[in-house]
Amino acid sequence: MQVLLVKDVPGVGKAGQTKNVADGHARNYLLPRGLAVIATQGAVKQVEALKLASAKREAETLQEAQLLGSTLDAVRLTFKVKAGANDRLFGAVTAADIADRLVRDHQINIDKRKIELDHPIKDLGQRGVPIKLHPEVTAHVQVMIEREGEPS
């Protein structure tokens, strides 16, 4: 029986593929669980249309991420914080702090989970902080940590 896979099925194929499977396997396993539908011309055309729409949407998402990435690469954030001896901070600058400052100062809304800080920043200085916008796009924001009360 010719079926069109709706979801990935181990040992059979990936979603969107048309496969020839045993009639019993299709009737008793694939069709009742919603893993496949009988391959008709209409179903095949519908899957092709969905693939096209998905590819177009993915291309638009990538383009938006690249545009936002170029904007973020030019951003420089400055944090004025209290610091003790050896330029160690009283507290830390976290991904949430960076996300909040991006919204407040630049009206750029980034989820704090996309900011790839290995650990909170706990000392003075400048560093590039990577922000993963898309699997193919990573931007870097320059973060400057300065002692509170010192001139810029």
pLDDT tens for 79-91 read 999 998 888 999 9
With CA atoms as reference, report the closest residue to 75 among 40, 54, 99, 93: 99
**CATH of range 66-147; options 3.10.430.100, 3.40.309.10, 3.40.50.1370, 1.20.140.10:** 3.10.430.100
Q: Just give the CATH number of 2-60.
A: 3.40.5.10
At residue 65, does pLDDT exceed 80?
yes
Q: What is the pLDDT of residue 15?
A: 86
First and final C-alpha spacing in the chain: 73
Asked if the model's pLDDT at residue 152 lies above 60, the reply is: no
Is the model's pLDDT at 59 over the cut of 90?
yes
DSSP 113: G
CA torsion, points 121, 122, 128, 132, in degrees to nearest 10? -10
Distance CA 113, CA 105 (A): 19
What local confidence, expressed as pLDDT, does residue 151 receive? 65
CA-CA distance, 148 to 64, in Å (whole number)? 36
The yes-or-no verdict on residue 50 having pLDDT over 90 is no
Mean pLDDT to the nearest integer, 122-140:
95
pLDDT, averaged across the chain: 92
Delimit the domains of the chain by residue range: 2-60, 66-147
